[in-house]
Structure 1
Amino acid sequence: MDRMQGMTAFVAVAEERNFAAAARRMGMSPASVTRAIAGLEEHLGLKLVFRTTRSVRLTEAGDRYLDDVRVILAKINEANESAASAQQVMRGHLNVTAPVLFGALHVVPCVARYLDQFPEMTVSGYFLDRVVDLVEEGIDVAVRIGGRPGLAMQGIAVGGTRRVLCASPAYLAARGTPQHPAELEHHDIIAAQGISPVDDWSFRSESMDLTVRVAPKLTVSSNDAALTAATLGLGITRLFHYQIAALVAERRLQIVLPEHEGAAWPIHVVYDVDGASAKVRAFVELLVAHLSHPGADA
């Protein structure tokens, strides 16, 4: 008797607690199921099932073996599905979310490769500077910066991004460049609510945590609005490094107090690992590879 069939028969008997019901579930005769279990027990040298005229129950060894066999069969089914999907045309729709600028810079290029690889797929990208509930809002894959993946979700770490202060060179030339976080009280502050929702800003100073209360001159609800305001010389703002990197390279913005930056915020690719379909797993694989590459450093 095939060992795989023996393990499958054992799981069916353990779950049904009845040989006849297990046989119907597998499309086999009760005698065949009995032989499959007997062959498995002979191979293992263990008694797995106690059977009487009225009941079926597992031995202590059978209880332990059941958990292991379920994992093994699940892995085999997953491998078979993965191999089969590689030979099939991927069709369907995918819902993806990420922060606004991160999505535009890092997720859209991955979506382009995904659609090129699977032309029968369609994708909706929801790029929002807020935490999206994957279950309630019907999202398949999310990129999250900071925080935890959430209940029943798996988060694959793909890197991190720093939260930095920046201002235009013109503003700093006119108002001076602060040398310590405490000096921010003398500067105009642009607060982006998505990144700095409170007025107490934390920093590192000589390996110690430091909190400074700021009084924003301008508060905006979107990160790109804060970015625009900073480039116009309205003050100092706090954004993620990936959001300002291009403007820093163009010398339209300048990083302030880099030595006082806090720890990097982790970036995760989040999805329902237990319920992930082949289309989701394929996208997650591409996204993780893309974001983990040094060229995608945030």
Structure 2
Amino acid sequence: MDQIHLMKVLVAVGELQSFAGAARRLGISAAAVTRAIVALEQALGVKLLLRTTRSVRLTDAGSRYLEDSRNILASIDEANEAAAGINAAPQGNLAVTAPLLFGKAFVMPCIVDYLQAYPQVDVSAYFLDRVVNLVEEGMDVAVRIGPLPDSGLRALRVGQVRRLLCASPEYLEQHGVPAHPQALAAHTIITASGVSPQAQWRFGPAQAPTLVQVKPRLTVTSNDAAIVAASAGLGIARLLSYQVADELATGRLRVVLEAYEEAPWPIHVLHRESKYGSAKVRTFIDRLVEHLRAHRYLN
């Protein structure tokens, strides 16, 4: 049987977890689906699916082969579209994710410009202070802040930010400016789960860090809430430089312990496109990368 056809059948069965559902999607008989899976397993010499009267489940080998098959089929479709000229005009839905405040401040202006330039594209933007899995959650493009784990995703570095400690001038005048990270024990600490989820804060170089156990008096789930509390004079908060750029510029907040900061955190634009790439993703990434690399708060 044709290898591409066999891959399409496996992807349909694996995604729907049903032979009958795969048959309906592909417009073939259930018997033809069964024959295709049997032929593929015989050709590979490995079990891809575990079948019972009530369920269909992928084996470990089947899960890996399904993901590889998805990538191969997507590359074929994109190559065909590119050759036919379909990709000349971006169209369809584009799913984008970024951290909450970063998305609002830096990604949203780019999305608005992009939608105005390409009327045939719709964008779904997910601004969340958690790591979104591009593959499992169907994202096309993501912005990540911080070191990247090894993955099959493609990454473009667009800038960097500092993770810094800040407090209001009023708080520092009343309680003093800490001269060393260990002095934080005598201060009121505000923690934001998106930036400093651990009670142990790290300072200095990665090779020889200084670790300080902090006891927060206020813990909040959003970074903007931590900014409000710090600006109001409650205590010292640890935040990312872009999040407090306006407060620092206007003097509502001041940086403390700058000499003990960690190395800056990188910012990357991630995507999972093949070397061809769809027009909607390729054109958006080009625009977003240019926009972020030119921003003074990120470089």
Q: Same fold (TM over 0.5)?
A: yes
Q: Which has the larger radius of gyration?
A: 1
**1:85 positional shift:** 5.4
Amino acid at match of 1:287: L
Residue 199 of structure 1: aligned partner: 199
Q: Which residue of 2 aligns with 1:114?
A: 114
> Residue type of the partner of 1:118?
Y
Shift of 1:83: 9.7
- Given that residues 97 and 142 in structure 1 are in contact (C-alpha distance below 8 angstroms), is that contact kept between their aligned partners in structure 2? yes
Partner of 1:69: none
Shift in CA distance, 296/218, structure 1 to aligned 2, threshold 3 Å:
closer
- Encode CA deviations 1:37-62: one digit per residue, 9 max, x unaligned: xxxxxxxxxxxxxxxxxxxxxxxxxx
Deviation string 1:216-260 (CA, Å, 9 cap, x unpaired) is 111111111111111111110000000001111111111111111
Residue in 1 that maps onto 2:296: 295
Q: After the TM superposition, which residues 29-108 of structure 1 pair with which residues of structure 2 at under 5 Å, given as runs?
A: 81=82, 84=85, 87-88=88-89, 90-108=90-108
Determine helix, strand or coil for the equivalent of 2:94: strand
Q: Secondary structure at the match of 1:125?
A: strand
Deviations 1:137-168 (A, max 9, x none): 11111000013265321111111111000011
What amino acid is the match of 1:269? V
Residue of structure 2 in register with 1:53 after alignment: none
Aligned residue identity for 1:156? L
Question: Are the aligned partners of 1:82 and 1:278 in contact in 2 as well (CA < 8 Å)?
Answer: no
Deviation of the 1:285 alpha carbon: 1.0
- Say what the alpha-carbon RMSD is for the aligned residues: 2.8
Measured after TM superposition, the shift of residue 97 of structure 1 is: 0.6
Corresponding residue number in structure 1 for 2:218 = 218
- Paired residue type of 1:278: A
Q: C-alpha separation between the residues in 1 aligned to 2:128 and 2:189?
A: 23
Residues 232, 79 of structure 1: alpha-carbon distance in 2 compared, 3 angstrom cutoff: farther
Identity, % of aligned positions: 48
Instruction: State the SS of the aligned residue for 2:224.
Output: helix
Residue 273 (structure 1) shift: 2.4
Q: Aligned residue for 1:138?
A: 138
Change (3 A) 1:183 1:92: same
Alpha-carbon spacing, 1:218–1:286, altered in 2? closer, same or farther (3 Å): same
- Structure-1 residue corresponding to 2:68: none
User: Residue 26 of structure 1 aligns with which residue?
Assistant: none
Residue 295 (structure 1) shift: 3.1
> Aligned residue for 2:239?
239
Q: Which amino acid aligns with 1:165?
A: L
Alignment coverage as a number of residue pairs? 227
Change beyond 3 A, Cα 1:254–1:282: same
Shift of 1:80: 8.3
Seen in structure 2, the aligned counterparts of structure 1 residues 278 and 82 have a Cα distance that, compared at 3 Å, is farther
Gaps of 5+ in 1: 1-14, 17-73
Give the structure-2-normalised TM-score: 0.69
Shift in Å at residue 87 of structure 1? 4.3
State the TM-score, normalized to the length of structure 1. 0.69
